[in-house]
């Protein structure tokens, strides 16, 4: 999920960059992480760097080219607000609200997306400890956005037909850029 609508999203850090639409990894369900080891911790640190570099509030494994059920979040913008969650699962939700939403994997695209107003999440931290979170507002929206990525769902899949039409030109540009990169 992005804070800005910047077109300059292809940040490269340690060989990683944000994977953009229509890359196939974004449409696949990510695999659960079986063991939290040094490799998982290293990749989590890289994801946090990418999230900061691109001014995002969250990043899911597939957006870093890693088909794994891992999410980094920071809705505060402060370095001490960084958090990593392994195998997150939304266990309940309530209410509904619609707000403007963007995505690091869809630079230049914004749309009004309906989401639950509150969510409860169960996940594991980098020490393997279970974490249970009940939240609302921006953090609830970010959780839903990032767990959608883990399930191969993009905001495109949640847009109204009118919003897809409004964003059609930008989607074609992203498709052409993807084809050029091969």
Q: Is the peptide bond before 22 cis (omega within 30 degrees of 0)?
A: yes
Residue 113: count of CB within 10 angstroms of its CB? 22
Q: In the structure encoding, which two tokens stand for residue 72, read together?
A: 């980094």
Hey, what's the torsion of the CAs at 157, 135, 1, 126, to 10 degrees? -110
Q: In the structure encoding, which two tokens stand for residue 119, read together?
A: 């969510």
**Under 8 Å CB-to-CB from 32, ≥6 apart: which residues?**
68, 69, 87
Which residue reads 């290293």 in tokens? Answer: 42
In the residue annotation, 180 being an active-site residue is answered as no
Question: Which residue in 46, 49, 101, 146 is the catalytic one?
Answer: 146
- Indicate the pairing of strand 83-94 with strand 118-124: antiparallel
Residues taking part in catalysis = 146
């Amino acid at each position: 999920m992005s804070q800005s609508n910047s077109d300059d999203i292809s940040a490269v850090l340690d060989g990683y960059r944000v994977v953009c639409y229509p890359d196939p990894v974004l449409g696949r369900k990510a695999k659960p992480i079986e063991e939290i080891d040094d490799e998982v911790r290293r990749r989590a640190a890289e994801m946090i760097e990418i999230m900061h570099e691109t001014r995002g509030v969250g990043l899911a494994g597939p957006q870093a080219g890693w088909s794994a059920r891992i999410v980094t979040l920071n809705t505060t913008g402060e370095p001490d607000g960084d958090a990593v969650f392994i195998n997150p699962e939304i266990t309940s939700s309530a209410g509904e609200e619609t707000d403007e939403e963007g995505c690091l994997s869809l630079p230049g695209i914004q749309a009004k997306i309906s989401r639950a107003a509150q969510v409860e999440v169960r996940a594991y931290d980098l020490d393997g400890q279970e974490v249970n979170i009940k939240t609302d507002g921006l953090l609830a929206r970010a959780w839903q956005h990032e767990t959608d990525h883990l399930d191969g769902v993009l905001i495109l899949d949640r847009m109204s037909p009118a919003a897809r039409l409004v964003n059609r030109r930008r989607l074609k540009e992203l498709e052409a850029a993807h084809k050029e990169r091969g």
